[in-house]
Structure 1
Amino acid sequence: MGAEKIVHDEKAQLDFSQSMSYGDYLHLDEILNAQHPLSPAHDEMLFIVQHQTSELWMKLMLHELRAAIGAIAGDQRADAFKMLARVTRIMEQLVSAWTVLSTMTPPEYSAMRPYLANSSGFQSAQYRCIEFALGNKNAAMLKPHAHRPDLLAQVEAAYRGPSLYDEALRLLARAGLDIPDDRLQRDWTQPYAASAEVEAAWAAVYRDPHQRWDLYQLGEKLTDIEDAFRLWRFRHVTTVERVIGFKRGTGGTGGVSYLRKMLDVVLFPEIWSVRTAL
């Protein structure tokens, strides 16, 4: 009887017809059937899956970034630090994604490229929201989303709002550090410009980390994020050059030449310059 009961219980546990299953919870049917290659090329599946998974990671990154910006604004420092740490780990996953895509050779990409038309990662609304949330503001980058009012609204909200670094500086000011007013109340749509006074404030934090431990941790979390973001950008440009050389991008950009310019963008300038001053 005991053995029969065990078999009966096991069968009951394996019957998901009356309850939510793993696939139901994750909507796997929709996700796993969302890949629709347009070309006969075997490697197009890699191209699609890599970009779809990257968009999922970016969705999570934006979820964490937006919450972290709100937490910093609300002086919820511990919560913000956990979210920012997660953002860094997500970027590490995105770096690895480029490593997988780099297995695609130039002839393999050329076989599917004509089917892409003008579609390009340059048009990713989520990526643009990330750039804007991190402070790389550029009004011209709103235009690729003008044909989709719903996406444009999301991108424009990130463009018009304070960035992660803007809120970090306001936190420093609330903690008693001398941050110039023109860095605390400014036009958030404009790129941030480095300030000697802000560098001096960060220097005060870094010279006595135990006195201002939370702010010191904030500085290092920002450093981690920009470090990871630079690696993500670098792997992007290296992979593109490896696969297509210096051809123009499908979205109309200069391809590698455009991506290399992005490598020079510094998101949190005083976080880096203060290291020379210490």
Structure 2
Amino acid sequence: MPPHKHENSSGTAYENYLRIPELLRLQEPRYAGPAESVRSSELFFIVVHQSAELLLTQLVHDLRTASREACRTPSGRPEAEQRLRRCIGLVRLQEHHVEVLEHLPRQHFLAFREELGAASASGSAQFAEVFALLAADGEVQKLHRPGIRGGAALTSLVAELEEAVRCWQLAHLALVQRMLGDRAGTGGSSGVAWLRSRLLPAGRSPARTGRAGQRTRSA
């Protein structure tokens, strides 16, 4: 079999398959101050957010596949259920990504924060797509449609997914509160107050609160 076009003859099969050398060149801290510890913390910040975006790629794919399989034929229901379970796991990983940022010293974040400019998770197309899929008119809500066999199981999984999303929001709110306090958000929002005003009450989900782009947005 000829080598893949991205393979590096000096790399291992593992490194070539996952394109590790290219992946590891994508972390470029911008902080140019004298404190190496701040630069290291910015690297940590970048790594966590880049890995979160990779997880979102799979989450979007699985949400779309679950919706398609559940609505196609009754035989697609097991696949839809399996994908929804994986989505729940992916969302819980996103919550853990927020929690691991508790190990980012606040003073370090404030030291390199200006390097972000207007960068904010509100500018993430994948975050926006996840919430579009979960919106009241989004594809995931097709799983509640009458006539889908096994609908009770799917509805239960969607409810579990939505609760996982809410926990993710709560973790994010707590992080922003610690990092910013009463400061304005990086993306131009009012920060904590903006996020708190959009926090979903218990028992509700993004599917009940309108269109995407009007709910969860990073400070």
TM bin (shorter chain): 0.7 to 0.9
Q: Which amino acid is the alignment partner of residue 168 of structure 1?
A: L
The answer to whether the Cα contact below 8 Å between 2:144 and 2:154 also exists between their aligned partners in 1 is no
CA displacement at 1:251 relative to structure 2: 0.9
Distance 1:136 1:217, change over 3 A: closer
> Aligned partners of 1:123, 1:253: CA distance in 2, in Å?
12
Equivalent residue, structure 2, for 1:74: 72
Distance 1:94 1:19, change over 3 A: closer
* 1:112-261 map, 5 Å: 112-135=112-135, 162-165=138-141, 167-170=142-145, 172=146, 174-175=147-148, 214-261=150-197
Tell me how large the CA RMSD over aligned residues is. 2.1
After TM superposition, the structure 1 stretch with the greater mean CA deviation from structure 2, 104-113 or 122-131, is 104-113
3-state SS of the aligned residue for 1:263?
Answer: coil
Does residue 63 of the first structure (1) align with residue 2 of the second (2)?
A: no
Q: What TM-score comes out, normalization by structure 2 length? A: 0.80
CA displacement at 1:106 relative to structure 2: 2.2
Q: Which amino acid is the alignment partner of residue 163 of structure 1?
A: E
The answer to whether the Cα contact below 8 Å between 1:23 and 1:29 also exists between their aligned partners in 2 is yes
Does residue 100 of the first structure (1) align with residue 100 of the second (2)?
A: yes
Distance 1:19 1:27, change over 3 A: closer
CA displacement at 1:117 relative to structure 2: 0.8
Equivalent residue, structure 1, for 2:49: 51
After TM superposition, the structure 1 stretch with the greater mean CA deviation from structure 2, 247-256 or 83-92, is 247-256
Q: What TM-score comes out, normalization by structure 1 length? A: 0.64
3-state SS of the aligned residue for 1:102?
Answer: helix
3-state SS of the aligned residue for 2:206?
Answer: coil
> Aligned partners of 2:43, 2:114: CA distance in 1, in Å?
15
Equivalent residue, structure 1, for 2:24: 32
CA displacement at 1:136 relative to structure 2: 5.9
Runs of 5+ unmatched residues, structure 1: 1-15, 138-161, 176-211, 270-278
Q: Which amino acid is the alignment partner of residue 190 of structure 2?
A: G
CA displacement at 1:72 relative to structure 2: 1.6
CA displacement at 1:246 relative to structure 2: 2.1
> Aligned partners of 1:30, 1:67: CA distance in 2, in Å?
29
> Aligned partners of 1:243, 1:136: CA distance in 2, in Å?
32
Equivalent residue, structure 2, for 1:266: 205
> Aligned partners of 1:228, 1:23: CA distance in 2, in Å?
33
The answer to whether the Cα contact below 8 Å between 1:69 and 1:163 also exists between their aligned partners in 2 is yes
3-state SS of the aligned residue for 1:37?
Answer: coil
Runs of 5+ unmatched residues, structure 2: 1-7, 33-37, 209-219
Consecutive aligned runs of 4 or more in structure 1 exceeding 3 Å deviation: 16-20
| Cα shift readout 1:4-53 (whole Å, capped 9, x = no counterpart) | xxxxxxxxxxxx95997100000111111100000042310111011001
> Aligned partners of 1:267, 1:119: CA distance in 2, in Å?
23
Distance 1:18 1:114, change over 3 A: closer
| Cα shift readout 1:116-170 (whole Å, capped 9, x = no counterpart) | 1111111110000000000167xxxxxxxxxxxxxxxxxxxxxxxx4211x1233
Structure with the greater alpha carbon radius of gyration: 1
> Aligned partners of 1:136, 1:267: CA distance in 2, in Å?
8
Q: What percent identity do the matched residue pairs reach? A: 28
The answer to whether the Cα contact below 8 Å between 1:85 and 1:221 also exists between their aligned partners in 2 is yes
CA displacement at 1:268 relative to structure 2: 4.5
